[in-house]
Structures are given as structure tokens and as C-alpha cells.
Amino acid sequence: MAALTLQPRLRLSVLARIATLLAVGLWGQTTAGAYDTTVCGQTAYTIPSNNMTFNANAWNPDDEGFQCISVQDSPPAFAATWSWSSNSETVHSYPHVKLTAPGLPTPLSNISALVLSAQWSMGPGSTPRPALVVDHDGLANHGTSANVAFDIFVDPNAANARSEKTAATEIMIWVGRFGHAEPLGFDANMKKTCFTQTVGDAEFVLYQGHNDRGTNVLSWVATSNHTTFAAEVSPLLQYLWRNGLVSAGSHVGLVSFGSEAYHSDGIVTFSASEFDMHLVTGAAPNLAVGDLPAECSRAASTNPPQWLLSSASITAVVSATLLYLIS
């Protein structure tokens, strides 16, 4: 999620109300009773029995469009229906669930394991697809640009880390990418470089940039879509703090899972279930620098992020590329 908080426009709220009626009507016909609540625009909903919070989060609406989120209380699941058809360049909404765990906030260096998991689906129209189903052709026909991502907020100050608006650093883990959705600092020539880490069966490439609020955004972007994801992602965090890209003492305060919606000519529904976070606090296990794979010579990284070259010695650049979990 990026930065600006814009006032909701009157037009959006009207459209959102229409969209709610539409969405509730359609879901009533197709998956009767599946969802307990629908909220739209910038409204949040909290499941009373467990305080799990969901937010439609249309923080940057364009002239044409809406964002709603329908929530099933038990077991927790949601379907986010949206359309943003006028401005294709930026993120308009991030419908999401906030994941909670005892132990947050905690310093990055005090995370010994962080398991993130989720299942999702995406397709055109207002009807959620079954878990793991992606209608690639339908999304392409709508010109859909969106991602599916975990969003982790980090700040040296534990209180600041608890809010998207005050955290100095945002660490994203993209497990889906459609159309022209690009992380901040995206470089098409950097699809596969040494700034790559594998966790579970997913390979991630790191990009870095700043959003409009000035938040430092570090994005690990999976090289393929993972409609079912469950992995111990602390190596992705260690890569960042052991190389000084974020301070080791920075606290993780907030973790969300959702989909950043950029653009679609027609209605799209993203749905999610089985989302969870499991945090083990305590001193982080040691990561060690392994052997340099042949393809990871400095020359192979033709487009390393500027910040790494300018702020580190060449030795540090090389070692930054190779962290392997020993224990």
C-alpha cells in the first residue's frame, strides 16, 4: 500500500452504495449466505468474535470506480469487488485483512520465524471464484492491473510501526501480479538478478522505491503467481536488515494481506481465505553468506538498485546478494 490519504469523494460514496447493492444482490443469488457483511469505500469491518479487521481501503479513488469488501465471519474469508476504469497509473485501493499475532510489535532482529499463509482467487465479475482459481483470460479482457500482497509496516518507534500512516518503512511481499502492476522502483531489465531470494517454493526479486508520503518501500515480488502461499518469510526480512536497508532495531507493527487494485475496465473480484500469520519472537537465527553462484557475478547484476551501489562497498554488494539460512 502506498501513501496518500485522500478525502473520499461524494461520487465514490454514491457509486460505492450502488456497488454494494449490486454485489449483495449478485452474491445473494450465487453464494447465498456466504458473506456476513459488505462495506465499501474507506470503511472497515471487524468480526466481533475475534476482532479480525477488514478494510475496503479505497484510499485513492479515481473518477470512475468503486471498491467493496464482503466478509465471512467464520471461518474468516473475504471477497473484494472493484472497478477502477479511468486512471491506470496508480494504486486506488488495497482491500485487505489485518493479520494479528501476540508478540507484535517486535524488533526485526527479534523475529526468529514468521510464517505467512493465504489462499486466493481472482476473476472478472462480482462472483468470487473458488479458491486458487484465476481467470487469466477474463482479467486480460478487462485490462486488469492488480497485485496480491502481504504488507508489513516497520518503524524504529514501536508505536509508529502500528500505523500505515506513520511507519517509516513498508516491506511488501507480492505473491500475485497482473497486468501493469509494478512495484516502486520496478525495472523490467531486473527480472532475475542476484537480488533474489527463495522461500518455500517461491522465488522473489527485490525492488526499492519511495511512495508519495516518503515511506521507504521494499518490495519482494514473486516471479510467478502463488494462489496458495505458506512460507517462513523471515529470510526476506533478514536480507533487508542484515544489509542495512532497514535498521535491525526497527519494529514490525502491522501486517496485512490483500490486493492492490490499479485498474480494470470492468468489475473484478479478488477473494481470499485461509490467511494466517504465525510469529515466533526471540533472537533471529544466524544467516550466513554462501558461495557466490556463477551467474551472480557483479557484471550479471546490470541493474542493481541504486541505493545499494551508492551506500555500500563492492564487497558489501556482493555479500548482500547471498544470504542462506543455515539453521
Ligand X SMILES: *[C@@H]1O[C@H](CO)[C@@H](O)[C@H](O)[C@H]1NC(C)=O
**Residue 283 Cβ, how far from ligand X at the closest point, in Å?**
7
Which residue lies nearer to ligand X by CB, 280 or 300? 280
- Residue identified by cell 450502488 is 18
The CA distance from 144 to 147, in Å, is 10
Segment contacting ligand X by CB under 6 A, of 206-214, 223-231, 263-271, 291-299? 223-231
106 binds ligand X (CB under 6 A): yes
Q: Are 308 and 320 in contact (CB under 8 A)?
A: yes
x/- contact string, 162-181, with ligand X (CB under 6 A)?
---------------xx---
x/- contact string, 40-69, with ligand X (CB under 6 A)?
----------xx------------------
The C-alpha cell that represents 169 in the structure block = 518503512
**Residue 43 Cβ, how far from ligand X at the closest point, in Å?**
18
Pick from 110, 127, 157, 247 the residue near ligand X by CB under 6 A. 110
Which residue lies nearer to ligand X by CB, 41 or 123? 123
The CA distance from 47 to 36, in Å, is 10
Segment contacting ligand X by CB under 6 A, of 33-41, 105-113, 306-314, 315-323? 105-113
Site for ligand X in 175-214 (CB under 6 A): 177-178
**Residue 159 Cβ, how far from ligand X at the closest point, in Å?**
13
- Closest by CA to 99, choosing from 252, 221, 270, 224, is 252
282 binds ligand X (CB under 6 A): yes
Which residue lies nearer to ligand X by CB, 175 or 317? 175
Give every CB contact of residue 205 below 8 A, 6+ residues apart in sequence. 190, 191, 192, 193, 195, 196, 220, 221, 223
Segment contacting ligand X by CB under 6 A, of 181-189, 222-230, 256-264, 270-278? 222-230
Segment contacting ligand X by CB under 6 A, of 86-94, 186-194, 219-227, 310-318? 219-227
Can you give the binding site for ligand X, defined by CB under 6 A? 50-51, 106-107, 110, 136, 177-178, 222-225, 281-282
